[in-house]
Amino acid sequence: MQLSIQNLSKLYTNKTAINDLSINLTPGITGLLGPNGAGKSTFMKILAGIEQPSGGTVTWNGASLEEQINKYRKVLGYLPQDFGVYPNLTPIEFLQYIAALKGLDHRSSKKRIEGLLEQLNLHQDRKRPIGGFSGGMKQRVGIAQALLNDPSILIVDEPTVGLDPHERMKFRDIIQSLSEDRIVILSTHIVSDVESISDNIAILANGSLEAFKSPQFIIQSLEGKVWSGVIPSDSYQDYHRNYKISSSVQRSNGLHLRILSDQRPFPEANLVSANLEDAYLLYTGGYRK
């Protein structure tokens, strides 16, 4: 099973959202990272068949997506960034409604809904109105609707925005448990949400694919280039102008910096182990205060 994207582009009136992007996706989790405006949501809408590209091709198992869109949608699960629910419906009622929209058989979908509510730890709340749910619980309902048709391809866009750390951790566990025999694409700008669960990381910046490698490979490529040390607080702007700063923390003895540099940035700086946050900074060209 393969989802292949070749030379993909998406142009709007005054903006290039996707620029000549090529990538091949296979079963497992692909973490899609990038700052706001990098083109992540546009890319995922194209993969979900919601938007048409301006150029390039998307093929599923060797055939054009456009030519088999109805067949493709039957194996697709999609959780958009702005997922809406009907607050007065219970999870069972809402999922039955979505199942009907997807054309699923009533008897089989009823059994499927019960299983998903159990799997996603929503069974005891299945008869409560969704409007009273926490953000994490609503996201689990969203995952349930995306999984109703037991999809081979699961696309989730910024699923952890607004969730507390505990809910984010639970959500990552759910996604990981689903990834063994599916193509899972998880888009976020929160690096920690994908670092521990992704088989591969795709980093987008300004609509272009800057990297597509395993987290371990990306991190190893930065070894020997990450430094940590303390500087006077009033020296920050000088270092900001001359180095890529991965993080800075104000403490009583000064400003603790984490810097990307081929050379030691100042005599007291020490080499430290690289992480995915450092790689994200390098490939997107930004910096984190």
Tell me what pLDDT residue 289 has.
33
d(CA 208, CA 227): 28
Tell me what pLDDT residue 288 has.
39
pTM of the model: 0.87
Tell me what pLDDT residue 286 has.
56
d(CA 220, CA 133): 41
d(CA 93, CA 113): 10
Give me the average pLDDT of each 10-residue run along the chain (289 residues): 95 92 96 91 94 95 92 93 88 95 89 92 93 88 92 90 78 84 90 88 94 93 94 91 91 94 94 92 65
